[in-house]
Amino acid sequence: MAYVLLRHREIPDLHKIDVYKKNGGLAAFKNAVTKMTPAEVIDVVKNSGLRGRGGAGFSTGMKWSFIDAKSWPHYIVANADESEPGTFKDREIMESNPLQFLEGLAIGAYAVGAHTAYIYLRGEFWQVADILDAKIAEMEKAGYLGDNLFGTDFSLRIYTHLGAGAYICGEETALLESLEGKRGQPRVRPPFPPSVGLYNKPTIINNVETFTNVPMILANGADWYKSMGTADSAGVKIFSLSGRVRRPGNYELPFGTTFRELIYGEKYGAGVQDSRTVKAIMPAGASSSMIVVNGDDKVLDTPMDYASVRTLRAELGSASVIVLDDTVNINWVINKTIRFFKHESCGKCTPCREGTFWMNKIVQRVSGEDRTQKDLDLLMSVAKQMQGRCLCALGDFSTMAVTTGMERFPEDFQVKQ
C-alpha cells in the first residue's frame, strides 16, 4: 500500500516545493479555492469519515460545519503541541512532509472561511518551527499564500507560534489561552471554539495529522479514503510505537490492523526486545487504560480501531502504543505516569490539582516493597474521587493508568504479609 501521510518515506525530497508539486501537491488546495465552495469541501471531508487524530476522534467535517457564520473573522489553528508521552508522529510529518500538512491547513482555512491560521507548536519544537517558517515563505513566494490567491478574494496567512513547555496546552481551550499570551489553563465550555475561540472569534482547531490527511482526501475522493480502515474508523493512522519493542517508530497503517501486526510485523515493531512476552499495552500514551495482554492471543489479535479497542476497556486515543513486557512492573509504570501528570496539572481546579499531588505522594510508598493495604486503598480512592469531577480531561487521564493498573495487575501491588 502506498503511503497517504508518510509519503516522504517513498518520495525523496518531498519537502521541496517543486518535488511536492510534481507529485500532485498543492493542486487540491488550488482546485478547492478556484472550483469548489467551502461547503463542498466540508462535504467531501465529512463523507470521507475522517476523524480527529488528536485523541478524541471527532468527525472533522462535522466540526468544520459548526463554524459560526454570523461572527467574523474566523481563525483556524493547528494543534502541534504533541506532548502526550509516547506520541511523536506530528513531529515526523512536520519535519519530513511539511508541505502536505500546510496544504491541509490551507484547505481547512478555506473551508471554514479563515484568513489567518496559526500553528501552535510545543516550545521544544524550535527546529520544527524553523522548517515550517521556511516552507511558509516558499509557499508565499510560489503564490499559494498571501492576498487574493489564484485571483479569487480568498486570502490566507499562516504563522507559527511556539509554546513554552506545558502539556496542558495541547488541550484545545488551554491552547487558545496560551496563544493569547496567557497561562495555558482550559476554559469552561460551552461556548465551544467554533463559536467563541481565539480572540473570542469562531475558531477551528485540529491536530497536525488530521490536516495532513485532507489534501489526499480532496485529491482522491471520500470513497477512496473510506475504502481503507474500518466502517467506524475510516482511513489510515500513524501509530507511534514505543517501549520494549525491537523497532520503535512511526508506522502508518489502516485502522483495523491488529496489535500483533504492529508489534510483531517484521516491517514494524519486529517483536519484543530480548524475545520476552507482552505484558500490557498502553494504546494512548500515558493517558491510557492498561490493556492486559500476558501473551493472550485474543488481545493481540484485536484490530486497532476506535470501537475494537473499546472492547478491551481502553481507548485508542492518539494511537501512541507503549509496549510493556513481562520485565516491567506496573507499580513502576504508574509512578512514572503520576509524576508526569502531577507536574503537568495546570492547577485550575481543585480535584486535579490536589488529586495529582496526593497520588504522587502515595505512589512513592506504593512502589516500595513495604507498601500497605491502607496506601493502596487510599491511592485507589483518591483516583476514583477525581474521575468525572475535573474541569478538563487531564484530570481523568491522570487516573487511568492508576485505577486500571491496580485493578488489572494486582500481582504487582501485593502487600507483604
Partner 1 sequence: MSLEKTYPKEVKQILAKYPPEGKRSAVMPLLFLAQREEGYITKAAIEDIAQLLDITTTEIDAVITFYTLYHQEKAGKYRVQVCNDLPCALRGADKFLEDLCENLAIKVGETTPDGAITLEAVACLAACNNAPMFQTQGPDGIKYYENMTVAKTMDVIQTLKHAGKEAE
d(CA 350, CA 356): 10
Please select the residue that binds partner 1; options are 181, 275, 297, 417, rule is CB under 8 A. 181
166 binds partner 1 (CB under 8 A): yes
User: Mask of contacts with partner 1, 90-119, x by CB under 8 A?
Assistant: xx------------------------x---
Distance, C-alpha 400 to centroid of its chain: 17
Of 355, 337, 340, nearest to 391 (Cα)?
355
Size of the site for ligand FMN (CB under 6 A): 22
Q: Side chain identity at 297, as an amino acid letter?
A: D
Distance, C-alpha 317 to centroid of its chain: 7
Cβ-proximal residue to ligand SF4, closest one: 352
- Helices 98-112, 126-141: crossing angle, 10 deg rounding: 70
Q: Which is nearer to ligand SF4, 312 or 349 (CB)?
A: 349
CB of 108 to partner 1, least distance (A): 19
Torsion angles phi and psi, residue 299, rounded to 5 = -70, -45
User: Mask of contacts with ligand FMN, 159-198, x by CB under 6 A?
Assistant: ---------x-xxx--------------------------
127 binds partner 1 (CB under 8 A): yes
d(CA 44, CA 97): 23
Stretch that binds partner 1, among 77-85, 349-357, 373-381, 388-396 (CB under 8 A): 77-85
CA gyration radius, the chain = 22
Place of cell 481546579: 349
User: What is 264-325 written as a DSSP string?
Assistant: H-TTTT-SBGGG--EEEEETBGGGPPPEE-TT-HHHHT-B-SHHHHHTTT---TT-EEEEEE
Distances (CA, A) of 357 to 1, 43, 245, 415: 47, 46, 32, 23
Q: Which is nearer to ligand SF4, 333 or 392 (CB)?
A: 392
d(CA 89, CA 33): 29
Cell of 294: 500476558
CB of 170 to ligand SF4, least distance (A): 11
Q: What part of residues 194-213 is at the interface with ligand FMN (CB under 6 A)?
A: 205-207, 210
Residue 58 interaction partner, one of partner 1, ligand SF4, ligand FMN, none, beta carbon < 5-8 Å per kind: ligand FMN
Q: What part of residues 26-55 is at the interface with ligand FMN (CB under 6 A)?
A: 52-55
Q: Which is nearer to partner 1, 40 or 130 (CB)?
A: 130
Q: Which is nearer to ligand FMN, 36 or 168 (CB)?
A: 168
180 binds partner 1 (CB under 8 A): yes
Binding site for ligand SF4 (CB under 6 A): 168, 185-186, 345-349, 352-353, 390-392, 394-395
Cell of 393: 480531561
User: Mask of contacts with ligand FMN, 72-111, x by CB under 6 A?
Assistant: -------x-xxxx---------------------------
d(CA 237, CA 62): 19
d(CA 383, CA 389): 11
Q: Which is nearer to ligand SF4, 157 or 353 (CB)?
A: 353
d(CA 247, CA 244): 9
Instruction: State the chain's maximal CA–CA distance in angstroms.
Output: 79
Please select the residue that binds partner 1; options are 113, 184, 197, 256, rule is CB under 8 A. 184
d(CA 290, CA 97): 32
Half-sphere exposure of 28 (CA within 13 A, CB side): 30
Q: Which is nearer to ligand SF4, 133 or 396 (CB)?
A: 396
Q: Which is nearer to partner 1, 111 or 179 (CB)?
A: 179
Q: Which is nearer to partner 1, 242 or 403 (CB)?
A: 242
Distances (CA, A) of 151 to 11, 76, 274: 31, 22, 60
65 binds ligand FMN (CB under 6 A): no
Q: Which is nearer to partner 1, 22 or 343 (CB)?
A: 343
CB of 334 to ligand FMN, least distance (A): 18
Cell of 170: 495541547
Residues that bind ligand FMN (CB under 6 A): 52-56, 58, 79, 81-84, 168, 170-172, 205-207, 210, 392-394
Interface residues with partner 1 (CB under 8 A) are: 82-88, 90-91, 116, 122-127, 159, 161-167, 178-184, 198-199, 240-244, 248-250, 286, 322, 324, 328, 333, 336-337, 340, 343-344, 346
